[in-house]
């Protein structure tokens, strides 16, 4: 979970247009900011898409 908990804004901001991490998702859950399960699912999927975009195929992070 650690690699996906909070993104490094300075490191990825040039490549990732819509960053998302588990910290942000957890905050949204705690503050009732999701209006549907689809919104929650989209944020979870965004974490994976960003990971695949940022990391090279076959890298440890890509595999995680």
Tell if the pTM clears 0.95, that is, is over it. no
**The total number of residues written for the chain in this structure:** 64
Note whether residue 24 is domain-resident. Answer: yes
Note whether residue 62 is domain-resident. Answer: no
The low-confidence residues of the chain, meaning pLDDT below 70, are: 1-3, 10-11
Contacts of 26 (CB under 8 A, 6+ apart): none
pLDDT at site 61: 81
Note whether residue 3 is domain-resident. Answer: no
Note whether residue 61 is domain-resident. Answer: no
CB 20, CB 46: distance < 8 Å: yes
pLDDT at site 2: 67
CA 29/CA 11 separation, integer angstroms: 26
- Domain with residue 48: its CATH number is 1.20.920.10
């Amino acid at each position: 979970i650690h690699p996906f908990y909070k993104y490094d804004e300075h490191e990825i901001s040039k490549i990732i247009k819509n960053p998302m991490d588990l910290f942000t998702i957890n905050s949204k859950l705690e503050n009732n900011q999701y209006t549907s399960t689809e919104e929650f699912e989209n944020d979870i999927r965004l974490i994976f898409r960003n990971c695949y975009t940022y990391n090279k195929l076959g890298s440890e992070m890509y595999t995680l």
